[in-house]
A and B are shown apart, each in its own frame.
Chain A
Amino acid sequence: MRDAFVTSAGEVLADPRSTIVLADISAAAFAPAAARYPERVVNVGIREQLMIGVAGGLALTGQRPIVHSYAPFLVERAYEQIKLDLDHQGVGAVLVGIGASYDRAAAGRTHLAPADVALLDTLDGWTVHVPGHPDEVRPLLRAAVCGTGSAYLRLSTQVNTVAYPEAGDLRVVRDAGPGAPLLVAVGPVLDAALDAVADRPVTVAFTHRPRPFDTAGLRALAGAEVILVEPYLAGTSTRVVADALADRPHRLLALGVGRAELRRYGAPEDHDRWHGLDAAGLRRSVDAFLDPA
């Protein structure tokens, strides 16, 4: 997804409004673009507060900033800059994070960012894209850059086998018929979710745009049981789903990354397992939810 982003970002630089802002991360990958557009590929060095401040200033002049780093440094370290230098100034930017929740599992806690979407969710009006496949990155980036508001693209090394570029609104991938429990998979958790319920009558819908969440689609698909599987902090979208279904009796199971700091390294697949986000773990949770003892 990172390569798809670098290629797509190079393309959107053809628009003289576009400006890429980096803090050393991926600077080498952007060297060809920087050589071609020296005024519009800005590397501020390892300075994340400045990175967002610069984005705000660029936007104040009418430029469209595309700001990129590892998710924890991009979203968490400079959160007040996001709140004030973008939102409070009434300007927008496109933030593109890599690393997702635990792509860099062996790097440890400093490089993990399972709370990024929840943190941005404290702000108003952000669009959040969580692509599940590299082929979804280009159209999402282009659409985000063409807009004027603020958007966050959450890129991961974990990917699904099939791309669904049009799945901003919920897209039914597997239809178990009317009244079946609905599982909503966000971004790269789709394959594991499909495996988990392969032999259960569960409808599976996919989205790569958890904000704004497709609440109309949810209402059209949801029965009495809704299962949410998100690749970031568990429960991040509970509020949105609960609000959308407030007038209906329903049960909700929200799965995702746990809050506890595990202090374990390994690979992303290990963390999937430890957080119950692999197919077997999801299956256990879904069984317990749908067949309570």
Chain B
Amino acid sequence: MTTTTATELAALLDRVRAGRDFGPNVYSTLDVLQVLYDRVLRVTPATVDDPDRDRFLLSKGHAVAGYYALLAARGFLPADWLDDQGGPASRLGDHPDRLLVPGVEIGSGSLGHGLGLGVGTALGLRAQGRTDPRVYVLLGDAELDEGANHEAIAYAGATGLGNLTAIVVDNRSATYGWPGGAASRFTVNGWTAATVDGHDHDALHTALTGHDHHRPHVVVAAVADGE
């Protein structure tokens, strides 16, 4: 599979940015998104409706600029769309809408919805006997504050939902932190977990493919505080 170069991505991101300042949350997710779309997810613009595709659910919907840039780089949406992000005729809002953007699996923005939707998606695939596709949900460490996540973490762990991977981009932005590490909130409920440098592509790839197919898996992508 071809990879998205940092230069290419930066150029696309600049088109979304259009002179504005991005918060650290945009940059903190870029490497994870690159590794996912370049090396992990089995989905292409031609298979966005294939029931056997992998699903990527961006739960922290505000981290959208890099997401749009990546989707453009991989051909899911025309790069022209990036130039008018948020405009009155644009399909690209400050949070993504699955009905407006090809390749976007869920509309998100309100925190704490992605993991529940991911659990349901994983259950639906299982009910249909689709054992191949995998469901990946990207969250932030501050988003973990939302109680809805903990309903999903406990249930997925208890039922051994082995086709589900959560990715927590941890820039230590949760107001009260996660003493003992974000991963411990998952492992106590029976998930497998890996905590890696959120900018190290090889480490991310190893962690993202490190699931055992019997239990849900979490990858904590650690980046600099507030990044």
Q: Which residues of A come within 8 Å of B, CB atoms?
A: 16, 19, 39-40, 42, 44-45, 47, 49-50, 52-63, 65, 80-81, 84-85, 88-90
Contact = CB atoms under 8 A, between A and B. Distances in A.
B155 interface: yes
A145 B116 CA distance: 22
Nearest to A90: B99
* Best-buried of A47, A52, A90 by chain B (most CB within 10 Å): A47
23 contacts: A16-B128, A19-B124, A39-B123, A39-B127, A45-B154, A45-B158, A49-B112, A53-B119, A54-B123, A57-B122, A58-B120, A58-B124, A59-B120, A60-B124, A61-B51, A61-B121, A61-B124, A61-B127, A61-B128, A62-B51, A80-B110, A88-B97, A90-B98
A60 B127 contact: no
B216 interface: no
Contacts of B118: 57
Contacts of A16: 127-128
B108 to A, nearest CB: 8
A89 B106 CA distance: 6
* Best-buried of A44, A56, A57, A88 by chain B (most CB within 10 Å): A57
B105 interface: yes
Contact of A85 (B117, B125, B128, B154): B117
Contacts of A80: 110
B210 interface: no
Given A47-B155, A89-B106, A89-B107, A53 B113 contact: yes
B19 interface: no
A50 B151 contact: yes
A55 B113 contact: no
A246 to B, nearest CB: 32
B151 A62 contact: no
Contact of A57 (B98, B112, B121, B154): B121
B122 A49 contact: no
Nearest to A49: B148
Contacts of B182: none
Given A16-B127, A53-B151, A89-B106, 13 more contacts: A45-B158, A49-B112, A49-B147, A49-B148, A52-B116, A53-B117, A54-B123, A59-B120, A59-B124, A81-B113, A81-B116, A84-B107, A88-B107
B119 A57 contact: yes
A54 B154 CA distance: 13
Nearest to A63: B124
A60 B118 CA distance: 10
Contacts of A42: 123
Given A56-B116, A80-B110, A50 B155 contact: yes
B126 A54 contact: no
B119 to A, nearest CB: 5
B152 interface: yes
A218 B147 CA distance: 45
Contacts of A40: 127
A58 B123 contact: yes
B160 to A, nearest CB: 13
Contacts of B110: 80, 84
Nearest to A18: B127
A63 B51 CA distance: 12
A100 B83 CA distance: 51
A53 B116 CA distance: 5
Given A50-B155, A53-B113, A39 B121 contact: no
Nearest to A50: B151
Nearest to B55: A60
Nearest to B135: A57
Contact of A50 (B105, B125, B148): B148
B107 A57 contact: no
* Best-buried of B106, B115, B120, B125 by chain A (most CB within 10 Å): B120
